[in-house]
């Protein structure tokens, strides 16, 4: 069987630390879970829930929540923390925008999250494909809000602006970790390039909410986490997610430690004090975990205040 991560073959073995009680994910065999799975499989769609080995898949799919991953299942980057397959990707599926739109309708999603692998092989990094997926989804589902979780479009110039032309409700790009760990954890990316992307999105369209996320447990310090928060606020980022890094295999980046629920609560309190409109901070928090519920609450609060 072909390895999902051929670039990690010669990496040292890093034993996986036993998970504490608070990391246990919720297991279920509900009809809704299998309905979601059937719709995803029948439309030949890829989800980050499956490809990134997300611990929340059973809980989310039982609520008919799925995060679609477009442009294939193979990433051109080789981040040390990620479980998504790496290698040479195939051609874009030109019918994918229609398939996504149909799946969103069948799942009756009020809020959809659309992410992708990195496609450094494409001249525009896949921005045109994002544009088509957002437009088709909105045409088929006019009452569904759209959140995109994009690559950094590194060295692709203004390609990201094509995504903004489709006017997603939320533009998310994860900063992932602190600057001092970038060369080891995210070697194909650049911290300040990611910050600049988020900052530029707000400059182009101030009405689009911006969002970013960070993992903890890779060896960062508390001060470094707080500095990332300040950097994101300086870039006018509206939402932040903070979650525990879970080491996918013995060949992935080693886990330094598990943060306690109290530590996540404290980080969430600090993030709110720094001015983020939405904060999700917990051991199992991921970019799209409860994204629909959080966005709905934000809209309700805004209506009340107006």
Segment 146-169 mean pLDDT: 97
Q: How confident is the model at residue 67 (pLDDT cuts 50, 70, 90)?
A: confident
Segment 89-114 mean pLDDT: 91
The pLDDT mean for the chain works out to: 88
Q: How confident is the model at residue 124 (pLDDT cuts 50, 70, 90)?
A: very high
Residue 123 has pLDDT above 70, yes or no: yes
Residue 37 has pLDDT above 90, yes or no: no
192 versus 27: which is more confidently predicted? Answer: 192
Tell me the residue range of the domain where 220 lies. 24-305
How many domains are contained in the chain?
1
Segment 65-71 mean pLDDT: 83
Answer yes or no: is 16 within a domain: no
Q: What confidence score (pLDDT) does residue 47 get? A: 66
Q: How confident is the model at residue 166 (pLDDT cuts 50, 70, 90)?
A: very high
Segment 236-260 mean pLDDT: 95
Dihedral sign computed on CA atoms, order 173, 90, 97, 73: negative
Segment 210-231 mean pLDDT: 98
Answer yes or no: is 12 within a domain: no
Residue 31 has pLDDT above 80, yes or no: no
Three-state SS at 242? strand
pLDDT over 90 percentage in the chain: 66
Q: What confidence score (pLDDT) does residue 28 get? A: 60
Closest Cα partner for 52 from 287, 248, 281?
Answer: 248
Q: What confidence score (pLDDT) does residue 106 get? A: 87
CATH code of the domain covering residue 115: 3.20.20.70
Distances (CA, A) of 45 to 68, 71, 136, 148: 7, 10, 15, 16
Answer yes or no: is 11 within a domain: no
Q: What confidence score (pLDDT) does residue 301 get? A: 65
Q: What confidence score (pLDDT) does residue 110 get? A: 87
Residue 195 has pLDDT above 70, yes or no: yes
Q: What confidence score (pLDDT) does residue 209 get? A: 95
Residue 24 has pLDDT above 80, yes or no: no
Whole-model pTM: value is 0.90
Q: What confidence score (pLDDT) does residue 260 get? A: 97
Q: How confident is the model at residue 83 (pLDDT cuts 50, 70, 90)?
A: confident
Answer yes or no: is 288 within a domain: yes
291 versus 17: which is more confidently predicted? Answer: 17
Q: How confident is the model at residue 188 (pLDDT cuts 50, 70, 90)?
A: very high
Q: Given the DSSP bridges, would you call strands 85-86 and 209-216 parallel, antiparallel or unpaired?
A: unpaired
Distances (CA, A) of 252 to 3, 14, 104, 284, 300: 13, 7, 33, 19, 41
| Inter-residue long-range contacts of 31-34, CB under 8 Å, 24+ positions, other chains counted | 32/61, 32/62, 32/63, 32/64, 33/58, 33/61, 33/62
Q: How confident is the model at residue 26 (pLDDT cuts 50, 70, 90)?
A: low
Answer yes or no: is 18 within a domain: no
């Amino acid at each position: 069987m072909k390895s999902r991560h051929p670039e990690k073959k010669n990496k040292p073995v890093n034993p996986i630390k036993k998970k504490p009680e608070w990391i246990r994910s919720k297991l279920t065999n509900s009809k809704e879970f299998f309905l979601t799975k059937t719709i995803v499989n029948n439309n030949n769609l890829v989800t980050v829930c499956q490809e990134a080995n997300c611990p929340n898949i059973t809980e989310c799919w039982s609520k008919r929540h799925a995060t679609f991953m477009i442009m294939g299942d193979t990433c051109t980057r080789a981040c040390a923390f990620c479980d998504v397959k790496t290698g040479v990707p195939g051609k874009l599926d030109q019918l994918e925008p229609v398939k996504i739109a149909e799946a969103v309708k069948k799942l009756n999603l009020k809020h959809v999250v659309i992410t992708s692998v990195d496609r450094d092989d494409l001249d525009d990094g896949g921005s045109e494909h994002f544009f088509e997926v957002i437009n088709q989804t909105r045409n088929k589902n006019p009452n569904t809000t759209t959140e995109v979780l994009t690559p950094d479009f590194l060295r692709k110039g203004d390609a990201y602006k094509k995504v903004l032309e489709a006017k997603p409700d939320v533009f998310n790009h994860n900063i992932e970790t602190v600057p001092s760990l970038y060369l080891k954890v995210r070697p194909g990316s650049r911290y300040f390039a990611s910050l600049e992307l988020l900052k530029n999105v707000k400059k182009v369209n101030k009405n689009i909410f911006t969002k970013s996320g960070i993992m903890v447990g890779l060896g960062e310090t508390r001060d470094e986490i707080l500095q990332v928060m300040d950097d994101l606020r300086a870039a006018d980022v509206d939402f932040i997610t903070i979650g525990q890094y879970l080491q996918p295999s013995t060949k992935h980046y080693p886990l330094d430690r598990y943060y306690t629920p109290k530590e996540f609560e404290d980080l969430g309190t600090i993030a709110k004090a720094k001015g983020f409109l939405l904060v999700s901070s917990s051991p199992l928090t991921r970019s799209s975990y409860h994204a629909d519920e959080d966005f709905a609450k934000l809209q309700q609060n805004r209506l009340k205040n107006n």
